[in-house]
């Protein structure tokens, strides 16, 4: 089964913790649309500290909405050239990767 995931690769000068805070803000905003319980059940992301990247599961409506809101927040906070985003079918799991839901 193919699952849509989006990989956000950040420039080295972008603080990953600040990018993750923007993701939390996006998740909070999406809770206003879908409710806290649905977001808690349907949202997921993985933080790869070593690669300076973040992956978001967008296999459902909640996840794809989080990706859109998060992208908008990143552009406003860090600028269009601060990160790259691409859709990936599978994301390898690394020992240093922190899985969050």
Residue 19 sits in a domain of what CATH number? Answer: 3.30.70
The number of folded domains in the chain is: 1
Cα 21 to Cα 16, 18, 28: the distances in Å are 9, 5, 11
89 confidence band (pLDDT: 50, 70, 90): confident
Whole domain around residue 23: which residue ranges? 5-100
- Residue 21 host element (H or E): helix 16-34
pLDDT score of 98 more than 60: no
31-49 residue pLDDT tens: 999 999 999 999 999 999 9
- With H, G, I as helix, E, B as strand and everything else as coil, classify residue 98: strand
């Amino acid at each position: 089964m193919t699952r849509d995931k989006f990989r956000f690769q950040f420039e080295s000068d972008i603080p990953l913790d600040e990018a993750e805070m923007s993701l939390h803000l996006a998740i909070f905003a999406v809770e206003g649309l879908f409710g806290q319980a649905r977001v808690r059940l349907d949202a997921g992301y993985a933080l790869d500290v070593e690669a300076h990247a973040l992956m978001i599961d967008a296999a459902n409506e909640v996840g794809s909405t989080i990706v859109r809101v998060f992208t908008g927040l990143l552009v406003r906070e860090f600028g269009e050239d601060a990160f790259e985003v691409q859709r990936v079918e599978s994301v390898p799991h690394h020992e240093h990767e922190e899985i969050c839901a």
